[in-house]
Chain A
Amino acid sequence: MLRYILHRLVLTIPTLLGVAVLVFLMLRMMPGDVVEVMYRSEGANVPPAVIEAEKKRLGLDQPIPVQFVKWIGGVLQGDFGYSMWTGRPISYEIGIRLELSLQVAIMATLLAMLIALPLGTLSAVFRNTWVDHVIRVVSISGLAVPSFWLGMIIILLLLIYFHWNPPLIFTPFFENPRENLSQLIWPALAVGYRYSAVVTRMMRSTLLEVLQEDYIRTARAKGLRERLVVVRHAMRNAMLPVITVTGLEFAFLIGGLVVTEQVFNLNGIGKLFVDSVSRADNTMLQALVLLVSVCYIAINLVVDLLYAVLDPRVRYR
Chain B
Amino acid sequence: MSALPDIVYRVPVRRHPVVTFMQRQPLGAAGLIVILVMIVAAIGANWIAPYDPLAVDYANLLAAPSAAHWLGTDSYGRDVLTRIIYGARTALAVGFLSSILGSVVGAIIGVASAYFGGKIDLTIQRLMDVILSFPIIVLALAVSAILGKNIVFGIDANLIIAIATPMVPTVARVVRSSALAIRELPYIDAARVAGYSHARIIFRHIVPNVTAPFLIMLTAFVGQAILLEASLSFLGLGVTEPTPAWGLMLTGAAADFYQQAPWMIVFPGVAISLAVFAFNLFGDSLRDWLDPKIKL
Binding site for B on A (CB under 8 A): 14-15, 18-19, 22, 26-27, 29-31, 133, 136-137, 140-141, 143-146, 148-149, 152-153, 155-156, 159, 205, 251-252, 254-255, 258-259, 262-263, 273-274, 277, 289, 292-293, 296-297, 300
Contact = CB atoms under 8 A, between A and B. Distances in A.
B70 to A, nearest CB: 20
Contact of B231 (A14, A146, A155): A146
Interface stretch (B87-95, B140-148, B176-184): B140-148
Contacts of A15: 126, 129-130, 133
Nearest to B226: A144
B138 A14 contact: no
A133 B27 contact: yes
Contact of A259 (B129, B235, B277): B235
Contact of A146 (B262, B266, B273): B273
B33 to A, nearest CB: 15
A258 B136 contact: no
Given A255-B137, A292-B138, A293-B133, A18 B127 contact: yes
A133 B274 CA distance: 17
A211 to B, nearest CB: 14
Contact of A144 (B145, B223, B258): B223
B146 A273 contact: no
Given A140-B277, A153-B266, A14 B126 contact: yes
B98 interface: no
Contacts of B295: 205
B216 interface: no
Contacts of A26: 142-143, 146
A16 B212 CA distance: 33
B276 A143 contact: yes
A148 B141 contact: no
Contacts, number: 121
Interface in B106-124: none
B146 to A, nearest CB: 5
Interface residues of B, number: 44
B27 A259 contact: no
19 contacts: A15-B129, A15-B130, A22-B131, A26-B143, A136-B27, A146-B247, A148-B234, A149-B250, A152-B265, A153-B265, A153-B266, A153-B269, A156-B258, A255-B138, A259-B137, A274-B235, A277-B141, A289-B138, A293-B134
A145 B273 contact: yes
Contact of A149 (B127, B272, B280): B272
Interface in B252-295: 255, 258-259, 262, 265-266, 269, 272-277, 280-281, 284, 295
Given A143-B280, A153-B266, A262-B235, 17 more contacts: A26-B142, A26-B146, A31-B146, A143-B276, A144-B223, A144-B274, A145-B272, A145-B273, A146-B234, A152-B250, A153-B269, A255-B136, A258-B235, A262-B234, A277-B141, A292-B135, A300-B133
Contacts of B266: 153, 156
Given A149-B265, A258-B137, A277-B141, A156 B259 contact: yes
Contacts of B134: 19, 22, 289, 292-293
Contacts of A19: 130, 133-134
A-side binding surface: helix, strand, loop or mixed? helix
Given A18-B127, A30-B145, A149 B135 contact: no
B250 A258 contact: no
Contacts of A263: 255
Contacts of A274: 235
Contact of A252 (B135, B223, B231, B237): B135
B227 interface: yes
Contacts of B127: 18
B230 interface: yes
Among A30, A146, A277, A296: residue with most chain B CB under 10 A: A146
A255 B273 contact: no
B133 A296 contact: yes
Given A140-B281, A156-B259, A18 B130 contact: yes
Nearest to A147: B231
A134 B275 CA distance: 19
Nearest to B123: A14
A305 to B, nearest CB: 16
Contact of B284 (A22, A31, A140, A255): A140
Contacts of B274: 144
A292 B27 CA distance: 36
Contacts of A144: 223, 227, 272-277, 280
A152 B146 contact: no
A263 B250 CA distance: 10
